Amino acid sequence: MFMSSTLSRTQIHAVDIDRGPERFKVYTQRDLGAIDELRQLPESLRFEMQVVSSVLPFRVNDYVIRELIDWGRVPDDPIFQLTFPQRGMLSEAHFNRMAMALRSGMDKQGLRAVADEIRAQLNPHPAGQLELNVPRDENGDPITGLQHKYRETVLFFPSQGQTCHSYCSFCFRWAQFVGDKSLRMATTEAEKLHDYLKSHHEVTDLLITGGDPMVMKSKQLKAYLEPLLHPDFSHIRTIRIGTKALSFWPQRFVTDADADELIELLHHMVIAGKHVAIMAHYNHAKELDTSIAKAAIARVRATGAEIRSQGPLLAHINDNPEAWSALWQEQVKLGIIPYYMFVERDTGSRHHFEVPLHKAWEIYRQAMQSVSGLGRTARGPSMSAMPGKVEVQGVTEIHGEKVFVLRFIQARNPEWVQRPFFAQFDEQATWLDQLKPAFGEKRFFFE
């Protein structure tokens, strides 16, 4: 081993950052009035935010407000669109319903009832997230907090990681954040996770996700991760941690009280022989632009962990090729590996953010053309649908018929992976379930 622990300790502590520990200050719906920056906005816009945040979760921290949002560009600023409630996120009918309830001076309980009723009509768990893919223990009981959809990868939702440093306005996981226990996908037991992995040797990848697992204390994260270094888990080669903390709270890796402990944990996993990948959720180059964000990236990279980036293509936020080429170029410069461009999924506020598939592919293609080979590692645009992850490879004409060329990047059935298939071109389609097979065929091969 050429990397002694002491040597790397200096290395991973070497990032110079001229700021001390900061207090994590967060605003939710109740505190909308306390955000100074909002006071410059028209009253009508502020009321709209009140209405939408009465239904959908809202949470934003001081760092996002002060350093990521350009208040001179609000409401068009992409990070403002990403974190603050927007009228279009609710349908006219739902919006009016909640607006009337608020104007009528209804009490808390009444407002909650209206909110619950609207939420029940939205779609919090797309693509069978809750019912399917939850494995069972030897007694046949479902192991909540685990999902095993693709042979080699297990998803784990630690119960302490079911929140985020800020919430994304488009997020499909909102049901986890509004306190509806029946919808929460979580487990408190590391033991169950470890038991399951021990007896499933086909699994090579563990993907820890949330919410955001990086809201956990380093000690909690350690309790999940360190046991995996035991020889019982030698089949687990890769540990991925899905997070948006590099964007929303880079302090987590640099100045927080247990930042060093986290960095050391990652480094420890790496030198013990695991591939550790931070699956960083990014939507806009602005998120890479602050000195603390850059410091966080540098520190994580110094541990030997990889950072791979993924994020959805969203109207109002990043629906143009320039946004993506800027994002990928800056990521490559900072040593981040672009991994996925996602298509916004079939959830509650999708109509506000969705982009037609053919447009998504155009944006992807043009962005690809403008970056070097190192920036072309992102696959997409990709739909995480019931049968698997389906990539739009392009639009072409075959024997006079205009078609989408599609393929599975990842599939419930491993046989389907990389198999190309075709769908009729559709100008409006935004999701797989709106597509029809090309060439007059009755169904897709996976149906």
Ligand X SMILES: *Cc1c(COP(=O)(O)O)cnc(C)c1O
**Binding residues for ligand SF4 (CB under 6 A):** 164, 167-168, 171, 173, 210-212, 244, 281
Name the pairing type of β-strands 275-281 and 238-243. parallel
Residue nearest to ligand X (CB): 410
Report the residue number, 80 or 196, with the smaller CB distance to ligand X. Answer: 196
Look up tokens 């319903």; give the residue: 97
Q: Which residues pair with 406 in a beta bridge?
A: 392, 421
Nearest approach, Cβ of residue 150 and ligand X (Å): 5
**Beta-bridge mates of residue 423:** 404, 437
Number of other residues whose CB lies within 10 A of the CB of residue 211: 27
Residue 211 or 381 having the CB closest to ligand SF4:
211
Judged by CB under 6 A, the residue of 325, 384, 393, 430 near ligand X is: 384
The Cα 420–Cα 431 span in angstroms is 17
Which does residue 212 bind out of ligand X, ligand SF4, none, counting CB within 5 to 8 angstroms by kind?
ligand SF4
Give the whole-angstrom CA distance, residue 363 versus residue 343.
Answer: 12
Between 21 and 142, CB nearer to ligand X: 142
Instruction: Report the nearest approach of ligand SF4 to the CB of residue 242 (Å).
Output: 7
Interior angle at CA 435, CA 380 and CA 447, nearest 5: 95
Please identify, using beta-carbon distances, which residue of 126 and 321 lies nearer to ligand X: 126
In this complex, which beta carbon is closest to ligand X, that of residue 102 or of residue 337? Answer: 337
First-last CA distance in the chain: 50
Shortest Cβ 247–ligand SF4 spacing (Å): 8
Q: Of the candidates 24, 103, 104, 31, which has an alpha carbon nearest to the alpha carbon of residue 66?
A: 24
Name the one range near ligand X by CB under 6 A: 27-35, 145-153, 224-232, 249-257. Answer: 145-153
Query: Which residue in 11, 29, 153, 187 binds ligand X (CB under 6 A)?
Result: 153
Q: Of 54, 393, 410, 430, which one interacts with ligand X (CB under 6 A)?
A: 410
Q: Give the footprint of ligand X on residues 195-214 (CB under 6 A).
A: 205, 207
| Closer of 89 and 143 to ligand X (Cβ) | 143
150 near ligand X, rule: CB under 6 A? yes
CB atoms within 10 A of CB 280: 27
The structure tokens listed for 164 are 């985020």
Phi, psi of 264 (to 5 degrees): -65, -35
Q: How far is CA 260 from the centre of its chain?
A: 24
* 403 to 300, 411, 427, 442: CA distances (angstroms): 43, 22, 11, 15
Three-state SS at 339 = strand
Could you tell me how many residues of this chain bind ligand X (CB under 6 A)?
10
Q: How far is the CB of 217 from ligand X (least distance, A)?
A: 25
Among 89, 155, 228, 327, binds ligand X (CB under 6 A): 155
According to DSSP, residue 155 is labeled E
Residue 158 vs 304, nearer CB to ligand SF4: 158
410 binds, options ligand X, ligand SF4, none, Cβ within 5 to 8 A by partner type:
ligand X
Cβ nearer to ligand SF4, comparing 31 with 232: 31
Task: Work out how close the CB of 115 gets to ligand X at its nearest, in angstroms, rounded to a whole number.
Answer: 28
Q: How far is CA 86 from CA 46, 82, 440, in A?
A: 10, 9, 41
Query: Can you give the binding site for ligand X, defined by CB under 6 A?
Result: 147, 149-150, 153, 155, 205, 207, 384, 389, 410
